C-alpha cells in the first residue's frame, strides 16, 4: 500500500500541471520527468514537532498524486536525505557516536550538498573507507558492510523502498579503486531512488516520526532554505533553479536538491501563508533538462497556484 490516497481532484490538477509543463518545454519527453505530490489537508499534523505517535501518524490519511513515482532514477545528491536519516538512527541506537566532525559533515552534506562531507558520512555509517582495489575475500566483506544502509531501509518494511539502492558515495569526478569496482562496470550498482520513496522518507521527517521527534526536528533545521537572502557567490544554491525558485518570497521551504550533467532533481516540503502545506518531489532526466534552471521552478509555481484552489 502506497502511503497516500490518490484522489480525482489531485489527479486532474496534477495531470494538468504536467500537460502545461510539456507544452512549455517541448524537449522534455514524457519519460524524462517523475513527480510525487502530497497535500496536507486540515487538521495539519506535520511540522508540529512530532505531535503524533508513529502509529497514529501513519494511520492519518493524506492525499497525493504521482506520475512515474515508482520509476528507479539516479537521484544524485537527493540520496543525502537517506544518509541523514540513517546517521540519526545510528546515533539514536548508539551504533555511532556524535562528534564535531560528524556534525560539520552532516551540515555541509545537506546545506551545501558537499560530496566530500557525504564521503565521511558514508564511511561512518558503514565502517568502510575508499581506497585501492581489494582482494576478493576482503572486498566481499567490504561490500556487505557497505550495504548496511540498504538493509536498514529494507527493515522498515515500506513498499516504496523495496526497489531502492542507497550504498554509493556521491562524486564530483567519479569513483576510483574499490569504489569503481563496487559501482559496477556498467554502473549497475549505482544509487537508485523513486520519487515515491523520497516522498515517504521526507513525509516521515516532516511528521516528526523519522527516528524520533527530536531528531526529526534537527533534520528539519538542516533542510530549511532561506528564500530571501540567497547566496550570490554560488552557482547552485538549491533554491534558484529548483522548486524554491517558483515560490513567493513569503513561502517557507525545507528541501534537498540533486543535480549532475544528466539529472536535475528536488524534494521539498513547502508552506504557503494561509494554505495547505504540501510535499513535492520532482525528478527530471536528460542532458538538456539537466541544464535547465526553469523546469523545476515552473512546476513549483503551478503547484503553488493550484494549492490556493483546493
**Digit-coded pLDDT (tens) for 224-281:** 999 976 655 555 589 999 999 999 999 999 999 999 999 999 999 999 999 999 999 9
CA distance 37 to 269: 10
Rounded average pLDDT over 151-163: 98
Within the chain, residue ranges assigned H as helices are 8-24, 54-59, 80-93, 100-111, 115-126, 136-146, 148-155, 178-183, 195-206, 213-223, 287-291, 295-307
Report which of 258, 259, 257, 263 is spatially closest to residue 289, judged by C-alpha positions. 263
pLDDT at 282 over 80: yes
CA distance 198 to 260: 18
CB 169 within 8 A of CB 118: yes
CA distance 119 to 138: 20
CA atoms within 13 A on the CB side of 4: 28
Q: What's the longest Cα–Cα distance across the chain?
A: 60
CA distance 179 to 143: 10
Residue 236 has a pLDDT of 59
Burial of 8 (0-12, 13-18, 19+ CB in 10 A): exposed
Residue 45 has a pLDDT of 87
Residue range 8-50+70-271 in CATH 3.40.710: yes
Residue 217 has a pLDDT of 96
Residue 76 has a pLDDT of 98
Amino acid at each position: 500500500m502506497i502511503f497516500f490516497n490518490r484522489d480525482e481532484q489531485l489527479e486532474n490538477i496534477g495531470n494538468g500541471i504536467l500537460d502545461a509543463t510539456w507544452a512549455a518545454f517541448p524537449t522534455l519527453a514524457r519519460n524524462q520527468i517523475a513527480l510525487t505530490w502530497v497535500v496536507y489537508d486540515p487538521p495539519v499534523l506535520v511540522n508540529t514537532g512530532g505531535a503524533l505517535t508513529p502509529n497514529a501518524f501513519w494511520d492519518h490519511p493524506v492525499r497525493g498524486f504521482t506520475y512515474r513515482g515508482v520509476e528507479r532514477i539516479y537521484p544524485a545528491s537527493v540520496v543525502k536525505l537517506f544518509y541523514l536519516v540513517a546517521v540519526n538512527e545510528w546515533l539514536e541506537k548508539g551504533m555511532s557516536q556524535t562528534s564535531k566532525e560528524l556534525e560539520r559533515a552532516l551540515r555541509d552534506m545537506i546545506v551545501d550538498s558537499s560530496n566530500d562531507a557525504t564521503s565521511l558520512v558514508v564511511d561512518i555509517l558503514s565502517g568502510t573507507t575508499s581506497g585501492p582495489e581489494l582482494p576478493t575475500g576482503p572486498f566481499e566483506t567490504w561490500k556487505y558492510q557497505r550495504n548496511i544502509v540498504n538493509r536498514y531501509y529494507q527493515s522498515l518494511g515500506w513498499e516504496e523502498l523495496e526497489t531502492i539502492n542507497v550504498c554509493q558515495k556521491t562524486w564530483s569526478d567519479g569513483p576510483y579503486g574499490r569504489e569503481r569496482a563496487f559501482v559496477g562496470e556498467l554502473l549497475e550498482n549505482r544509487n537508485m531512488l523513486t520519487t515515491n520513496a523520497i516522498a515517504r522518507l521526507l513525509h516521515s521527517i516532516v511528521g516528526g516520526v523519522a527516528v524520533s521527534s527530536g531528531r526529526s526536528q534537527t533534520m528539519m533545521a538542516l533542510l530549511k532554505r532561506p528564500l530571501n537572502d540567497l547566496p550570490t557567490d554560488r552557482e547552485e544554491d538549491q533554491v534558484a533553479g529548483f522548486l524554491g525558485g517558483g515560490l513567493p518570497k513569503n513561502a517557507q521551504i525545507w528541501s534537498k536538491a540533486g543535480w549532475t550533467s544528466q539529472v536535475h532533481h528536488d524534494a521539498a516540503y513547502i508552506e504557503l501563508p494561509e494554505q495547505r502545506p504540501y510535499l513535492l518531489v520532482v525528478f527530471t532526466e536528460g542532458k538538456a533538462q539537466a541544464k535547465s534552471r526553469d523546469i523545476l521552478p515552473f512546476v513549483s509555481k503551478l503547484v503553488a497556484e493550484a494549492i490556493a484552489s483546493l
